[in-house]
Chain A
Amino acid sequence: MSTVAATAHAVHAHHDDRSFVRKYVFSTDHKIIGIQFLFLSLFSLLVGGVLAMQIRWQEGFPGQPMPGGKLLPETMASGGVLLPEYYIELVTMHGTFMVFFAIMLLLVGVYANFLIPLKLGAHDMAFPRINMASFWSAFVAGILMFASMFVPEGAARAGWTMYTPLSARHDLSGSSLGQELWSISIIFFGLSSVLGSLNYISTVINNRAPGMTWFRMPLSVWALFITAILGLLAVPVLAGAAIMLLFEQILGTHFFDPGAGGQALLWQHLFWFFGHPEVYILILPAMGMVSDLVANGSRKPIFGYHSMVFAICGIAFLGWIVWGHHMFVSGMNPTLGSTFMVSTLLIAVPSAIKVFNWMGTMWRGNIQFHTPMLNAIGFVAMFTIGGLSGIFMAATPLDMFIHDTYFIVAHLHYVLFGGSLFAIFGAIPYWYPKMFGRLMSDRWGKVHFYLTFLFYNLTFFPMHITGMAGHMRRIYDPTVYDFLKPYQPMNEFISISAFLLFATQIIFFVNFWWSLFKGEKAPLNPWHDNGLEWTLPSPAPHGNWETPPTVYRGPYEFSAPGVSEDYLPQNRKLPTDREPALAPAHGD
């Protein structure tokens, strides 16, 4: 015990007399940093959504002037009709903002920061100042990326995947500064991500409260930990690639230039070697948080906790050797391609295990249909659909036909929106009380969920059909192809559903902002959950605990026998519990 007292830092949970700037702007408190990431990422989500609306206008109503289009400069829209050069910028920036600045920051920037120390019983992250640097680096990256949309010649134009030579040569893409700013922004983003990852990993390994063993950690923390390892090792490869691309753009290097002996395919290998672990970064934290939400909403322990942990590790491990499935039609070595097919089919197994375990958790549970649980159930269903379409793509001969079609667009939106975003829509109201001390409106949360679920499926499900019919990705005007003309009514339908989907999000944004000021004040533990964060006041104070709590059990003891409530917090000591033994320190 004296070890604990000696090592507990003296900074925390006392009268906080820092200035406003130190407390809320240049803060080293992981909770404030998490909230800063929340505002940055919600703004980016909005930007991504606005870009998507313009894309859907063009796809649904090609050649027609867009409402508000006359406000755009002539370089983007002529008489309100979007230009092809602008369209490809929209597609590129939509992907970039959504993947990096919305989903990654929402899942990792917000929840890794906010939840990890709280759920582990720590005062803060292992390196609070590096944490602050991580946020401001992401902020700079965001500014650069946003600015890149407004420079002469416009934003980057080679798709969020930036394939060379289109991305490397101004004479091919028509965009120079915008393209370069993309590379520079991604380098800053990469720095932010790596700094964050090293914090999360160090904190989980070293800063757990007494009794918080590895297999007593919540699945959200496991998922965030494994995600941090993926990010730590994959993002530097992206940074290296972005540096090489930048040098290709401004120094005239020849990495990707076949005319000078370079290899255009090298970019794809570099990008997807990062890119595949990246997509697991985009889903694993969501899976982890959904596990917490589903166990809580079912009032039952998670089914198969250990296999859930091993599934997360299995997905992360296999995720390193599947990247080639993004490149089946690139002209890569076919033998190499077939090894990727095998590994990709294998990776479906741990994901399926998780789906079955969520269903097993809900089976005969005392389901509470509140907003977080609804969104979590939505996640499980929609992620399953997204995963099933993934099986089609894993089979290389089939992928030959559906690569670069809307079938892929449907798949990625089912896993990223139907998956990650629904998980986020569940997580935000769930941990909102701990962040802000108030509750979001559950009634409007439910309205938001049902309408979003409806319009989201109406938007993205038909894309499976148009994709199978051959509708390509990223094309400006599908009606130039005779074989696509019969599908144009479906495109219109998709677009209108998308507009309604976007409009529905107003409900979420209003609920979020209004509740900040007028929401019902939150009690300590509104969801009757077991995690350590629910033992703190809402909102949680600077420094979290005076003395770290002691943990006696895992986080999913719902409806436990011998306890009168249907939940049993991790730090509540029962007469039958023993104090955890502290391990001997180095050298003793």
Chain B
Amino acid sequence: METTHKHPPYLLIWLYLAILTVAELALAFELPISRNMKLLLLLFLAVWKALLVAMFFMHLKFERWNLRILAIIPVPLALIFIAAGMSEHIW
């Protein structure tokens, strides 16, 4: 029994990515925002772009939940490592 699944709107995602990149550049160089705010917003934008690529181009959104877990497992480990290393400089 053959079923046909629609593709996600790749060109639309590409447009979002382009817009977000422009937003990042504007944020980094043009907008008069405080440094810490800038850092937070830039990281947020970067993670958003990364998620778009992972969910739609890598099709994670359409895979089983346990594959998404497999893919995400390294992230908390990396964050633990970074947090521990950074804590060396706040005591």
Contact = CB atoms under 8 A, between A and B. Distances in A.
Chains A and B come from one and the same complex: yes
A324 B83 CA distance: 13
B9 interface: no
Interface in A330-350: 332-336
A3 to B, nearest CB: 15
Interface in B59-91: 73-74, 77, 80-81, 84-85, 87-88, 90-91
Contacts of A336: 84, 87-88
B91 A320 contact: no
Contacts of A269: 81, 84-85, 88
B87 A263 contact: no
A587 B91 contact: no
Contact of A233 (B1, B77, B88, B91): B77
Given A587-B3, A588-B1, A335 B87 contact: yes
A320 B84 contact: no
A188 interface: no
A363 B80 CA distance: 42
A126 to B, nearest CB: 15
Interface residues of B, number: 13
Interface residues of A, number: 17
B56 to A, nearest CB: 19
A273 interface: yes
Nearest to A323: B84
A321 B73 CA distance: 14
The prevalent SS among residues of A at the interface is helix
Nearest to B88: A333
A263 B88 contact: yes
A320 B77 contact: yes
A381 interface: no
A472 B21 CA distance: 56
Contacts of A475: none
A320 B74 CA distance: 11
A349 to B, nearest CB: 20
B81 A233 contact: no
A587 B88 CA distance: 50
B85 A266 contact: yes
B91 to A, nearest CB: 5
Nearest to A237: B81
Contacts of A320: 77, 80
Interface string B29-55: 000000000000000000000000000
Contacts of A335: 87, 91
A265 interface: yes
Contacts of B88: 263, 265, 269, 332-333, 336
Interface string B1-35: 10100000000000000000000000000000000
Interface in A235-287: 237, 263, 265-266, 269, 273
B80 A333 contact: no
A333 B83 CA distance: 12
Contacts, number: 30
A91 B83 CA distance: 33
Contacts of B1: 588
A125 to B, nearest CB: 19
B73 A233 contact: yes
A333 B73 CA distance: 26
Nearest to B5: A587
A505 B77 CA distance: 41
Nearest to B63: A586
A273 B77 CA distance: 10
B87 to A, nearest CB: 5
Contact of A333 (B3, B77, B81, B87): B87
Contacts of B77: 233, 320
Nearest to A332: B88
Nearest to A265: B88
B80 A334 contact: no
Interface in A305-327: 320-321, 324
B10 to A, nearest CB: 21
Nearest to A587: B3
Nearest to A234: B77
Q: Give the one of B1, B73, B85 with max A CB within 10 A.
A: B85
A321 B88 CA distance: 16
Contacts of B3: 587
Contacts of A334: 91
A334 B3 CA distance: 59
A588 B74 CA distance: 31
A335 B90 CA distance: 10
B80 A321 contact: yes
A320 B88 CA distance: 18
A210 to B, nearest CB: 20
B70 to A, nearest CB: 9
A233 B74 CA distance: 7
Given A233-B77, A587-B3, A324 B91 contact: no
B84 A324 contact: yes
A587 B91 CA distance: 55
Contacts of A263: 88
A235 B45 CA distance: 30
Nearest to B76: A320
B74 A333 contact: no
29 contacts: A233-B73, A233-B74, A233-B77, A237-B81, A263-B88, A265-B88, A266-B85, A269-B81, A269-B84, A269-B85, A269-B88, A273-B81, A273-B84, A320-B77, A320-B80, A321-B80, A324-B84, A332-B88, A333-B87, A333-B88, A333-B90, A333-B91, A334-B91, A335-B87, A336-B84, A336-B87, A336-B88, A587-B3, A588-B1
Interface of A: 233, 237, 263, 265-266, 269, 273, 320-321, 324, 332-336, 587-588
Given A269-B81, A333-B91, 15 more contacts: A233-B74, A233-B77, A266-B85, A269-B84, A269-B85, A269-B88, A273-B84, A321-B80, A324-B84, A332-B88, A333-B87, A334-B91, A335-B87, A587-B3, A588-B1
